[in-house]
Amino acid sequence: MNPLVRTASLTKRYGDRVALDGVTLEVGAGESVGLLGPNGAGKTTLLSLIEGLRLPTSGEVRLFGGDPRDPGSRTRLGSTPQATALPDALRVGEVIDLVAAHYPSPSSRERIVAEFGLEDLVRRPCGALSGGQQRRVAVALAFVGDPALVLLDEPTTGLDVDGRRALWDAVRARHAAGCAIVVTSHHLEEIEQLAQRVVVIDHGVVRADDTLSAIVEGVSRRRVTLTGVDRTTAQSLDPEAVITAEGEQVTALVADADAFVRALVQAGAPFRDLAVRGASLEEAFLALTATPEGTR
């Protein structure tokens, strides 16, 4: 089966800055893919190239087997960009109808309202909505065309915890019905909730592309937490470790926990409350992106 999205050696430069550097990946039918990376890593640029909003400097991108700039290739695509401007004067229901008119077989207004919990908003002008309410509407609009693929760029920005979870439920339901999802997010929990596969991008390069569990296991790092030792001391014992501190607690993401603990003892460090466990997705992400460029 042909992939919905295929990129080959995709590169995008803005002057001297390389936003994407030789990205090759595929997204298949019904997949749920999370794009993870620091700010400026290239995630939004990648989505814009997939949508045909920008041209690559070199390389190739195909959407549903065609050129993403061809309107015919985008009829099965839905998207929510980071920033969405809704028409202030139109009511939410009217905007849903307006978007639906651009697709051959759209979802009904009633279905979208029910799926995304917009009953309290459907008759209100978009200009009267809060930022979080506008975001809920913007994500819902991505699904109006009954798409085979939806691109969501930071979909729950501005939403509270309850709002995020309600939106996750709606997106998961569409994915369960066969819609492929590609999502970027600063919330690692959001990636865990929505994505079965994770692509880590850093400095425009794909650092990892695998299932959530495989990425966490593949990092081969252990998380050591302790008190009584400052961050500088911990870093001096293992220069390759990723060290963070919160209050008195220091956390070291290390390749060899036994060697790190031995170094603590040999240095006579007055550590307390020592605990060692496997890495989380957040810590795997840090390990993949916090290493100085060129040593990965």
Look over the chain and give the mean of its residue pLDDT values, rounded to a whole number. Answer: 90
Task: Determine the pLDDT at residue 219.
Answer: 63
Confidence band (pLDDT; 50, 70, 90) for 270? very high
Task: Determine the pLDDT at residue 296.
Answer: 37
Task: Determine the pLDDT at residue 279.
Answer: 67
Here the tokens at position 40 are 């400026």
Contact 45, 57 (CB under 8 A): no
Residues in the chain: 296
The DSSP element (H or E) to which 9 belongs, if any, is: strand 5-14
Work out the average pLDDT over 203-226: 82
Q: Note the pLDDT tens digit of each residue in 140-161.
A: 999 999 999 999 999 998 898 9
**Identity of the residue numbered 256:** D
Question: pTM for this structure?
Answer: 0.79
Confidence band (pLDDT; 50, 70, 90) for 100? very high
Confidence band (pLDDT; 50, 70, 90) for 220? low
**Any idea what DSSP says for residue 269?**
-
pLDDT at 291 over 60: no
Work out the average pLDDT over 161-177: 95
Contact 288, 279 (CB under 8 A): no
What's the Cα-to-Cα distance from 149 to each of 152, 267, 269, rounded to whole Å? 10, 55, 53
Q: Note the pLDDT tens digit of each residue in 227-239.
A: 999 999 999 999 9
Task: Determine the pLDDT at residue 88.
Answer: 95
Query: Distance from first CA to last CA of the chain, Å, rounded?
Result: 34
Q: Note the pLDDT tens digit of each residue in 182-199.
A: 999 877 888 989 999 999
- Cβ within 8 Å of residue 35, ≥6 positions away: 43, 46, 47, 182, 183, 184, 199, 201
Domains of the chain: 5-216 (3.40.50.300), 222-278 (3.30.70)
Task: Determine the pLDDT at residue 48.
Answer: 96
C-alpha span between 134 and 126 (Å, rounded): 7
Lowest mean pLDDT among 20-24, 59-63, 291-295: 291-295
Task: Give, to the nearest 10 degrees, the angle between helix 131-141 and helix 92-100.
Answer: 20
Task: Give, to the nearest 10 degrees, the angle between helix 131-141 and helix 161-176.
Answer: 0
- Cβ within 8 Å of residue 87, ≥6 positions away: 95, 126
Here the tokens at position 270 are 């007055």
**Any idea what DSSP says for residue 108?**
P
